[in-house]
Amino acid sequence: MASGSFKPGRLVNGLRGKTVPRERTALAIWFWEIDRVLLSLIAVLIAIGLVAVAAASPVAAIDRSTSQVAVNPLIYFYRQLMWVGIGLPVMLVISMLPRTQARRLAVVLTAVFLVMMLLVPVLGNSINGAKRWIDLPGIRFQPSEFLKPAFVVTLAWLLSLRGKDASLPVIPISGMLTAFVALLLMRQPDFGQTVIFCAVWSALLLLSGVSMKAIGALVGAAMGLFVLTYMFYENGRNRINDFLGLGVATDTGPDQADLAHKTITNGGFTGVGPGGGQAKFHLPEAHTDYIFSVIGEEFGLLACIGIAIVYLAIIVRVLLRLLDEEDSFIILAAAGLTTELGLQAIINMGVNAHIFPSKGMTLPFISYGGSSMIALCIGVGLLLAFTRRNPFMDRSPYVVKWSGR
């Protein structure tokens, strides 16, 4: 049972009019402890994603058709339904775990998918010039997607140990782990995921209470790494040059960022209507990296603003949930998972709006993808497990007394 769980019984004092449930099943306890507002916001994103994938599915079906046989224009929508059907039960089961078991699960998953990352060059196939997926009989998955939420929780656990023993070298250990993952990602290459892992580690360092001197050194190191990346990392340099208009001129037409910007603005404020978009048929990866542009064309910029508000609401909800939390691990883990989710959303929306260079980043819970959907469900399941609490516990100065039954 999670920290703060309650034992059903009669409340003697402190409820201020609340009724105590008498059900003693694990499911009933989970229902009363789970953050139903956060769960509802995630459900809204998943529903929006299904509509968006249905709108973008015809583009992907045409682009990826390798025969003259007519393809089902909604094939990617049906596949996304399948991934949601797998991911939601995984999310709910993980959310029922006690905090200690959820943390242990994350550490185990970190070890497993670090090994998988090492196997990508051996078992993976190159797709669009990048080798990020492992291909096994009947299944293809992206280990870095599954590693993200587990790695965030593992970093939070390591950094929280500073509160128990300040002499433990958890900062250099966490830094070396993050650098190791970054090197594996840059070999694939996957510049966007590298940014996410490094940014989350930096955010957790700030939250863990490092000195201003260390923060200054971190900022300086980040600027130095950016310069080195531009000088010696071809994939990152090409993306930055394309974004700044410094790439080599070609006759191949507009680049992906220009196409995405034209698509997202084509629908105006209210959109051209579901299925009415035409600019989307010129987009590469319309159902994944550039699905936000498809939403802008068919449902309007107002819909895009609404989606951004939902992401913001998730971030604010978690932060409010942590205001009276005293466990440093829970604060770091929940804040880290929320940072990962929010940063990924910001990067994807920024790329579609031509604010950031292209990074191949999906929009959480909205873009098509089995690895992305299931990994995100694991992350949110961990987040829900860490933010569970007894809603009947009076957190004011009043004392709550429970019966012994």
pLDDT (mean) for 368-374:
93
Produce one character per residue of 66-89: b if its CB has 16 or more CB atoms within 10 Å, e if not: eeeeebeeeebbebbeebbeebbe
Provide the H-helix boundaries in 64-142: 75-95, 99-123
CB 288 within 8 A of CB 265: no
Predicted confidence at residue 22, as pLDDT, reads 54
Nearest CA to 226 out of 237, 217, 215 is that of 237
Question: Per-domain residue ranges for the chain?
Answer: 24-66+76-390
> How does residue 403 score in pLDDT terms, banded at 50, 70 and 90?
very low
Helices 170-187 and 191-207: crossing angle, nearest 10°?
170
Indicate the pTM of the whole model: 0.84
Residue-by-residue DSSP string for 229-246: HHHH-HHHHHHHHHHHT-
Helices 291-299 and 36-63: crossing angle, nearest 10°?
90
Say which residues have a Cβ less than 8 Å from residue 26's Cβ, sequence separation at least 6.
Answer: 96
Sheet arrangement for strand 130-136: 124-127, 130-136, 139-141
Structure tokens at 79: 């596949």
> How does residue 373 score in pLDDT terms, banded at 50, 70 and 90?
very high
pLDDT exceeds cutoff 80 at 88 = yes
Residue-by-residue DSSP string for 195-223: HHHHHHHHHHHHHTT--HHHHHHHHHHHH
1 vs 20, 201, 378, 392, 400, CA distance in Å?
18, 29, 19, 16, 19
* 127 bridge partner residues: 130
The separation between the first and the last C-alpha atoms of the chain, rounded to the nearest angstrom, is: 18
Q: pLDDT tens digits for 92-110? A: 999 999 999 999 999 999 9
pLDDT exceeds cutoff 60 at 112 = yes
pLDDT exceeds cutoff 90 at 4 = no
